Structure 1
C-alpha cells in the first residue's frame, strides 16, 4: 500500500460524506487510501485506521497526504486549498471554487507557484453526455447556435438554509460567501453551459447581467435570471429557482438553427431534437477523483475540470457578489407549504416564467414577470 495515493477529506458531513464513501470505494480496489479526515464536528462510520482531526492545518502537520478533498463552507475554500497545495498535496475542491474573482486569481497564482493540480467538483464536466454535446455543437450538428439556456426548478425547504451558518448568506463575519441558487446548488447549470459553448475561461466571458430575487427569509437569491454573453457572441440565459411547486431535474438547452439539444446533467441524459425526431441517450460519467489520481500518475492525462476551466463561472459569481442584494418577492406572489423544517415557499407560476426566459433568452424583467413589475414600481416611487 506504500505506493497507493494517500487521501484526506476536509469536511465529512453533508456532501463531504459522499466523498468519504467514494474514497472507500477506491480503497477497496486498491487505488487509494483514506488516511485522515478533518472536521470540527465528530465524524462517524470511519475505518479504524483513519485519523480524525478538528482542522486541516492540524491534519497536514501530522499526516503525509497526496490528495486533499475539500468539501467545506464556500468562504474556506481558498485558504484550505492553498494550505493543502503548499503542503505538497493535489486538491479536489468542491464548487464554487472561490467566492470572488480576486480569490480566483489568488488561488490560480498558488497553483502556478506550487505546480500542484486543482480539480474543481463540477461533476457534469466529466459526463460523456456533456462532452458529446459539446462536440456536436463544435461540429455544427445543430447549425448556428441561437443561444444556450439553463433551467432549474428546485424545491429547498427551511432545513436546507438552517443546515449551516453560511447557508443562504452573501457574507458572513465580513467575508464573502456568495451562496445562492445561481452560484451554489444550481451552479452546475452555468458551468455546463459555458463548457458547451467552449467558453469556460475567465477571458471567454464578455458580460454578465443579473436579476436576483428571493422568497425565503435569506440574504442570497433563490429565484433569478442571469444573462451571459461570451466572447463568441453566444447568449447564455440562466433561469433558476429553489421555490418551485415540485423538484424537477435541471436542464441545459442548446437552441440551434437546425436542431435543439437538452442536456439533463444530473442523469447524464442527452436529448437531440432534429428533423428526424427525438433521440434520447443516457451516457456514463467518469469520476473526478479517479481522473485526478490518473493525472497525478501521468500528467499527460488532462483534468476534466482544472481551476482554469472555472474562470468563466467565477465571473458569474463575481457579478452576483457585486450586484445589489436580491429583491424580496412580494408575499402575494408566494404560497407557503409545510411546517417547521419542512416549510418552503412556492413562487406562483415561476415555472412558466422560467420556461419563457429559457425560450426567449430574456431576463424576468424583460418578460414582465409580476415580481419585477412590483419591484420596479417600488423603486420608482
Structure 2
C-alpha cells in the first residue's frame, strides 16, 4: 500500500524539507510522492514547472504549498478545486481579504486546508494552553512573543519577494512579524484561545528596519484580544547572536516560557523552575489522518489562523517601517554575509516583553530619530 498521492509546490528552500518528509512517510507506506512543481529545475523527482501542469498530468490527493507568500491563495484554490487537500505554509495569506477568499474556497470545495504553524502541533504548546485554561498560572497578566534572530544579506536576496511589502502590484507583507517569527505570534494567540478573526480587538504596530529592505526587521506589535488579554510581540532579525524564540505567559502565580522551536516548556512557580521537552505531531501526518477519518481534527485549520491574519492585515496597512539611524547600528561581515546589529536591541526587546510596551513608549533611542519614509 502506497498511501495518498502527495505533491509539493515549491521545493527550494523550506520546501525541500517537505519533500524529505513525504519521502519519510513513503518509506512507511503512508504516502506517495507523485511530483513536484517549481519553475526552477529540480533533480531526483518527477518535476513540473507549475502546479497547474502537475495537476493536469497526474492525480493528486494532497498538495503541499511552500511557495512565495503572494502565490498562496491562487495555488491553494487551484489545488482544492482540483479535489486535493492542502498543507499551506505560513503565513497563509497576505491580507484579510485574501483570507476570506480562501476560506470561501474551503467552504465551496469541502477540502481540508491545514496551515504550517508547526508549534501548534507541539505537546509543549498544547500543555501550556491546558495549564492556562485550568488557572494553574493564576490570572494571566499578559503574553509576550519574543524573537532575537540573525539574518544576513543572503536571506533577503534569496528570492525577489524577500523583504518586500508589495511586489509587482501585489501584497507580499514579508517581514519579521509576519513571516520568519510568525510562529511566535500565532502560538501566543492560540494560548489565549484567540485564533479567530473576531477574537482580536485591536492591533498596534511599530515597524522598523536596519536592512535596506521594504519590510520590517525590528518591531513591536501590541495585540488586545476580545478576552481582554494583551499580547506583546517584540522581534528582530538584527540581534547580536541568534537565539531561540519564545512565548512567555505572565501569570499572577507563575510564569511559563514556551521555546517552540525545541518544544520545550519552562515553568517558574513557587520559587522553582521545571523544564520539560515534549514531542510534536507532524502536520502532514495529521492531515493524512484527517483525510482517513474526518473526526480527527486538524491541528491548524485555516479558520484557526484568522486572529493571526488580523495581525498580518495590521502590518499590511501600517506605514512603511521607519529606518533605524546609522548611529544605532553596527555592521558585521562582507558581501552576502553582511548584516546589521541594532545596538542593545536585546535589552529593549526584554523590556518590551516584560512591560507590554512598544519601543517608543520605552524610549528606545532609534524611535525618536527614525526618519519616516514617504
Normalization by structure 2: what TM-score? Answer: 0.99
* 1:323 lines up with 2:322 in the alignment: no
The answer for the alignment partner of 1:83 in structure 2 is 78
**Alpha-carbon separation, structure 2, partners of 1:339 and 1:29:** 45
Please give the secondary structure, in 2, of the residue aligned with 1:216: coil
Does the alignment pair 1:63 with 2:58? yes
Partner of 2:217: 222
- 2:281 maps to 286
Does structure 1 residue 92 correspond to structure 2 residue 91?
no
- Post-superposition offset of 1:327: 0.2
Q: 1:197: Cα distance to partner? A: 0.4
What are the ranges of 5 or more consecutive residues in structure 1 without an aligned counterpart?
Answer: none
Aligned-partner Cα distance in 2 for 1:94–1:132: 24
| Structure 2 residue aligned with 1:8 | 7
Once the two structures are superposed, what CA deviation does each residue of 1:231-259 show, in whole Å capped at 9, x if it has no partner?
00000000000000000000100000000
- 2:46 and 2:151 map into 1 onto residues whose CA distance is 34
Partner of 2:204: 209
Tell me the alpha carbon deviations over residues 296-328 of structure 1, each in whole angstroms, 9 at most, x when there is no partner. Answer: 000000000000000000000000000000000
Please list the CA deviations of residues 198-257 of structure 1 after superposition, one character each: whole Å capped at 9, or x if unmatched.
101111000000000000000000000000000000000000000000000001000000
Alpha-carbon distance in structure 2 between the residues aligned to 1:21 and 1:51: 14
**Distance in structure 2 (CA, Å) of the matches to 1:326 and 1:311:** 24
Give aligned pairs, total: 372
Partners of 2:281 and 2:338 in 1: how far apart?
36
- Partner residue, 1:39: 38
Mapping 1:177-326, distance limit 5 Å: 177-326=172-321
What is the alpha-carbon distance in structure 1 between the residues aligned to residue 222 and residue 282 of structure 2? 30
CA distance in 2, matches of 1:276, 1:191: 29
Q: 1:26-75: CA deviations, max 9, x gaps?
A: 0000000000100000112x2xxx42100000111111000000000000
1:374 Cα deviation after fit:
1.3
3-state SS in 1 of match to 2:205: strand
Q: Which residue of 1 aligns with 2:25?
A: 26
Partners of 1:365 and 1:51 in 2: how far apart? Answer: 52
SS of match in other structure, 1:148: strand
Query: Partner of 1:134 in structure 2?
Result: 129
SS in 2 for 1:179: coil
Instruction: Give the equivalent residue in structure 2 for 1:361.
Output: 356
Q: Of the candidates 139, 146, 157, which is equivalent to residue 141 of structure 2? A: 146
Deviations 1:316-346 (A, max 9, x none): 0000000000000000000000000000000
Q: Does 1:124 align with 2:119?
A: yes
Say if 2:367 is the partner of 1:372. yes
1:161 aligns with 2:156: yes
SS at match of 1:167: coil
Distance 1:173 1:162 in 2: 17
- What secondary structure sits across from 1:156 in the alignment? coil
Q: Distance in 1 between the 2:32 and 2:358 partners?
A: 48
- CA distance, structure 1, for counterparts of residue 271 and residue 285 of structure 2: 38
Inter-partner Cα distance in structure 1 for 2:369 and 2:68 = 34
Instruction: For structure 2, list consecutive stretches of 5 or more residues without a partner in the other structure.
Output: none
| Whole-angstrom distance in 1 between the partners of 2:34 and 2:51 | 13
- In 1, the alpha carbon distance for the partners of 2:267 and 2:294 equals 34
Aligned-partner Cα distance in 2 for 1:260–1:105? 36
Task: Give the Cα separation in 2 of the matches to 1:334 and 1:84.
Answer: 45
Secondary structure of the residue that 2:91 maps to in structure 1? coil
1:246 aligned counterpart, secondary structure:
coil
Q: CA deviation at 1:276?
A: 4.4
